[in-house]
Amino acid sequence: MSAACHGADEATGGWSLTQRNAVVLAAGLGTRMKSRRHKVVHEVCGKPMIRHVVDHLKASGVHRIVVVVGHLAEQVRGVLGEEVEYAVQEQALGTGHAVLQAAPLLEGTEGQTLVVCGDTPLVRPETFQRLADVQRRTGAAATVLTARLDSPAGYGRILRDGDQVAAIVEEKDADESIRAIREVNAGTYCFDTEALFRTVRRLDNGNRQGEYYLTDSAAVLRKDGLRVIPVMLEDAEEMAGVNDRVQLASVEDAMRRRILEGWMREGVTVVDPRSTYVDAGVAIGRDTVIFPGTLIQAGTRIGEDCRIGPNARLSQTVVEDGVRVEQSVVLGATLRSGCAVGPFAYIRPGSVVGIGAKVGDFVEVKNAVIGARTKAAHLTYIGDADIGEDVILGCGTITVNYDGERKYRTRIGDRTFVGCNSNLVAPVSVGADAYVAAGSTITEDVPDGAMAVARERQINKEGYAEKLKRKLRVRQMRSEESRES
């Protein structure tokens, strides 16, 4: 996605002659979501809806962004922080009234102001750019983003007057003939800043909803003899808004397809896009193959030539090159080059799996560093541990890291072999080049090069089986005799 500052003017050494602002509307109640969370903080592909809007505005070269907040304002501030400016609309009296709240911040500045909704995260940076370019080039008072829909219900309708917008009529105020119009208002506009604030002051609320409609500004501007120009979307999907959770899912679906297509164009193989979920802001290297059923969540970076999935979930994880992850969950970890994870492994936060290491089936790793080429092939728990290089952790190795109150670390030196079904009771250190005999419960440190055996010695009772059977036979005969008598 291009992030260039398109507003810049070559002749002025990159400084734009036109100050470009944006007002993002996010003070509505969003009641149809039926949520305790503000509509615009709901996530789309792992990123709050309004973050998509703000990121796209920034990528389109906007200089100042004012977000209009009201109901649940602190949640919106929690997501966007100091990155934008805020205006407060105490009561949701309509979109025109919402824009007016940004006047103290933006009024009196020259240039243009985009007005966008916080609940339409699919509008692309290129579209904001186009809307702004047409406004500036034509000197129109406003440009209005529109689309032609097969089912226009619910949207404001565009009344045209030649190649201009004569008025925008909300569905609730429209008669039969206006409802039949299929060109709708996307809710995204670019105004001449001065014309915008002059106009929103003059709106009235004499309509079915008793609201101050921003959409009425089109007719007001036209009455003043100014121009309002429609800019039609080729891809109507871009204007899709989120008013309820059904629309949230369909916007998520569109965003997901867009993200996957982006990675495929960058050289990533996605075997089955329908069952693959990659969050916004994730990075994936070339020639990596993503198999079906895979979820790659926010904060994850994957290198080149990896094979991820089927059925893997990765979150907040760094994956270097040539890594294999199959049927596993990896959270907050680092997987170094060429390591293999799974099937059925669970790697938890704070873990590092070393270069070329292997973590196999039913192995859980938590807050542990596993050295290069070390193998924990099956049925093992490695928690709070530092494991050296070229170590073999036999099947059933357990670091006993918790005494019911506190957690302790286990250390194992390079090239050590831990036999199957061993407990390493932390805090404990096993040296380098050491052996731990299978079935040991290690409670004391093991020096370098030593062999530790910590289990009961085996006793063989010769001929025991025959003696036992004889004893049982005698017992059975006696009990039968006592029953007969």
Task: Name 6's Cβ contacts closer than 8 Å, sequence gap at least 6.
Answer: 60, 61, 129, 133
- Contact with Ca ion (CB under 5 A): which of 241, 354, 360, 394? 241
Least distance CB 38 / ligand UD1 (angstroms): 9
Taking the complex as a whole, the smallest distance from the CB of residue 256 to ligand UD1 amounts, in Å, to 21
The Cα–Cα gap between 265 and 267 comes to 5
From the list ligand UD1, Ca ion, none, pick the one residue 414 interacts with, judged by a Cβ distance below 5 to 8 Å according to partner type: none
Q: How far is CA 405 from CA 365, 397, 401, 408, in A?
A: 20, 22, 10, 10
Which of Ca ion, ligand UD1, none does 38 bind, CB closer than 5 to 8 A by kind?
Answer: none
Q: How many residues does the chain have?
A: 485
378 is a catalytic site residue: yes
151 phi, psi to nearest 5 deg: -120, 95
What is the Cα–Cα distance from 421 to 254, expressed in whole angstroms? 49
Task: Evaluate whether 99 touches 199 at the Cβ level (below 8 Å).
Answer: no
* Partner whose binding site includes residue 156, from ligand UD1, Ca ion, none (CB under 5 to 8 Å by kind): ligand UD1
Our CB check for ligand UD1 shows the closer of 86 and 417 to be 86
For the record, the structure tokens of 250 come out as: 């369909």
Contact range with Ca ion by CB under 5 A, out of 235-243, 259-267, 344-352, 427-435: 235-243
What is the DSSP secondary structure assignment for residue 318, as one 8-state letter? E
Q: Is the peptide bond before 427 cis (omega within 30 degrees of 0)?
A: yes
- Write down the least CB distance from residue 421 to ligand UD1, Å: 60
- CB-based contact 422:385 (threshold 8 Å): no
Q: Which residue is nearest to Ca ion (CB)?
A: 241
Q: Is 94 in the site for Ca ion (CB under 5 A)?
A: no
Q: Shortest Cβ distance from residue 297 to ligand UD1 (Å)? A: 26
CB of 227 to ligand UD1, least distance (A): 19
Q: Give the one entry of ligand UD1, Ca ion, none that residue 213 binds, where binding means its C-beta sits below a cut-off of 5 to 8 angstroms depending on kind.
A: ligand UD1
- Find the shortest distance in angstroms from Cβ 406 to Ca ion: 53
Residue (of 423, 440, 309, 380) closest to 357 by Cα position? 380
Pairing of strands 301-302, 318-319: parallel
Task: Determine the Cα–Cα distance for residues 397 and 389; give it in Å rounded to an integer.
Answer: 16
With CA atoms as reference, report the closest residue to 127 among 106, 151, 109, 144. Answer: 144
Least separation in angstroms between residue 125's CB and Ca ion is: 21
* 113 touches, from Ca ion, ligand UD1, none (C-beta below 5 to 8 Å by class): none
Task: Please identify, using beta-carbon distances, which residue of 94 and 419 lies nearer to ligand UD1.
Answer: 94
Interhelix angle for 125-138 vs 49-59, to 10°?
50
Q: Are the CB atoms for 413 and 434 separated by under 8 Å?
A: yes
Q: Which does 168 bind (CB under 5 to 8 A by kind): Ca ion, ligand UD1, none?
A: ligand UD1
- What amino acid is encoded at 40 in this protein? V
Q: Which residue number, 127 or 429, has a Cβ lying nearer to Ca ion? A: 127
Rounded CA separation 256/250 (Å)? 10
Give the one entry of Ca ion, ligand UD1, none that residue 92 binds, where binding means its C-beta sits below a cut-off of 5 to 8 angstroms depending on kind. Answer: ligand UD1
Smaller CB separation from Ca ion, 49 or 142: 49
Q: Which is nearer to Ca ion, 133 or 244 (CB)?
A: 244
- The one of ligand UD1, Ca ion, none whose footprint includes residue 420, by CB under 5 to 8 A per kind, is none
CA separation for the pair 374, 376 (Å, rounded): 7
Count the site residues for Ca ion by CB under 5 A: 1
What are the distances in angstroms from CA 438 to CA 65, 384, 394?
A: 64, 21, 8
Instruction: Report the candidate in 49, 81, 86 with the shortest Cα–Cα distance to residue 64.
Output: 86
Nearer to ligand UD1, 37 or 286 (CB): 37
Considering beta carbons, is residue 32 or 223 the nearer one to ligand UD1?
32
Q: What is the pairing mode between strands 441-442 and 385-387?
A: unpaired
Alpha carbons within 13 A on the beta-carbon side of 459 = 3
| Residue 26 interface partner, choices ligand UD1, Ca ion, none, CB cut-off 5-8 Å depending on type | ligand UD1
What is the nearest approach in angstroms of Ca ion to the Cβ of residue 242?
7
Contact positions vs ligand UD1 (CB under 6 A): 25-28, 68, 89, 92-95, 97-98, 117-119, 155-156, 168, 170, 184-187, 213-215, 241, 243
For ligand UD1, which is the closer residue by CB, 150 or 484?
A: 150
Distance from the first to the final alpha carbon of the chain: 97
CA distance 268 to 286: 5
Residue tagged active-site, from 42, 56, 97, 378: 378
Nearer to ligand UD1, 167 or 282 (CB): 167
Residue nearest to ligand UD1 (CB): 156
Asked if 296 and 310 count as a contact pair (C-beta separation under 8 A), the reply is: no
* Nearest distance from C-beta of residue 197 to ligand UD1, angstroms: 16
- Contact residues toward Ca ion (CB under 5 A) are 241
Residues assigned a catalytic role = 378
